[in-house]
Amino acid sequence: MDTKVISSGKHYSALPASYVRPESERPKLSEVSTCENVPVIDLSCTDRARIVKALAYACSVFGFFQVVNHGVSKEAVADMLRVATEFFSLPVEEKLKLYSDDPSKTMRLSTSFNVNKEKVHNWRDYLRLHCYPLEKYVPEWPSNPSSFKDVVSNYSKEVRALGYRIEELISESLGLESPRMPRVLGDQGQHMAVNFYPPCPEPELTYGLPGHTDPNALTILLQDLQVAGLQVLKDGKWLAIQPIPDAFVINIGDQLQALSNGKYRSVWHRAVVNADKPRMSIASFLCPSDDALISPPESLVEEGSVAVYRDFTYAEYYKKFWSRNLDQEHCLELFKNSRNPAAGSDTSSSILKTS
Ligand code: OGA
Ligand code: NI
């Protein structure tokens, strides 16, 4: 039986044709090396100025970093991973009750990325949830496994607090007062993608997620400690991010790139798959409120110049993002201020095809 998802228990001995990338777009896994110098920021450090400095470096040079001693409890993380594994182990008929390929749904199980827009599919199933405000969205979440709602609510709250704290530190690292970013971003939405990548018969031919940047403000990613798969583009090369215990990977999203007037980078990243083991990752996205005006503070725009990107609302941006395929040019490119002569174009999307 063919099902809509790949976490169906079915064993695949070859990759179905609809997942096979053309030769020039394949991940070339043997050429990928491990990123040896990912910034790791210890949030329990009592020297705040030191954290702020480390963040400025991480956000401008890398666009991502890992955090440890971040305040999210070990129990919350362990429970989240357990309930996510239990969910994807449910019988496929049970999971399919939640299936939808409509990106406007606030709770759905889906597969790949945007099945109705993309030409080639990706080796991923995912459960996508809205997590804020909890009272509004928890009632529509899965009730099987029975602890799902409690566990995911608790995890979402803890991760949200961490995200706000990081945004405050990011404000400071840009020379702004700490409430600036969270204030500009409004009452932020919060989404979660529970990503499940089953073992893949031919991992060299496809992706879990192809290269993309995250359209939101800040992403807090919990990676499977046992199975690596996240890679980021740095200086034109794809580098693997080794999971480290009790850490989150944080990446700057498109909105913080725009708000920082391009000083901080929303980096290209991707998830690759492997033949041996299933991989789980849990991405929490902080998203500006729909009506938040994304416009950099004057202090970050050079005198006599205009901002790199024109002003827009998050609602406008998000609509544009989901109307496209994932591995096209940086969505922010479509919002460039043509009056900014310094605005060079992001050439990464051509790198995605050729490297
Ligand atoms: C994402 C993402 C990476 C991963 O969900 O946006 O980039 O490792 N996930 O699953
Ligand atoms: Ni992402």
- CATH number for the domain that contains residue 128: 2.60.120.330
For the four alpha carbons of 321, 134, 188 and 279, in that order, the dihedral sign comes to: negative
pLDDT at residue 341, rounded to an integer: 56
pLDDT at residue 114, rounded to an integer: 86
Asked if the structure places residue 11 within a domain, the reply is no
Which run of H or of E encompasses 318?
helix 314-322
- As separate numbers, helices (DSSP H) first and strands (DSSP E) second, the chain gives 9, 15
Asked if the structure places residue 207 within a domain, the reply is yes
What pTM, to 2 d.p., does this model score? 0.94
pLDDT at residue 354, rounded to an integer: 38
Asked if the structure places residue 6 within a domain, the reply is no
Asked if the structure places residue 154 within a domain, the reply is yes
pLDDT at residue 351, rounded to an integer: 47
Name the closest-CA residue to atom 10, ligand 1. 281
pLDDT at residue 350, rounded to an integer: 47
Parts of the chain with a pLDDT under 50: 1, 349-351, 353-355
Asked if the structure places residue 82 within a domain, the reply is yes
Domains in the chain: how many in total?
A: 1
Asked if the structure places residue 44 within a domain, the reply is yes
Alpha carbon of 212 to ligand 2 centroid (Å): 6
Distance between CA atoms of residues 94 and 127, nearest Å:
13
- Residues flanking ligand 1, CB < 6 Å: 193, 195, 209, 214, 221, 223, 229-230, 269, 271, 281, 283
* φ/ψ (deg, to 5) at 77: -70, -45
Asked if the structure places residue 12 within a domain, the reply is no
Asked if the structure places residue 9 within a domain, the reply is no
Alpha carbon of 232 to ligand 2 centroid (Å): 10
Structural domain harbouring 235: 28-354
pLDDT at residue 353, rounded to an integer: 44
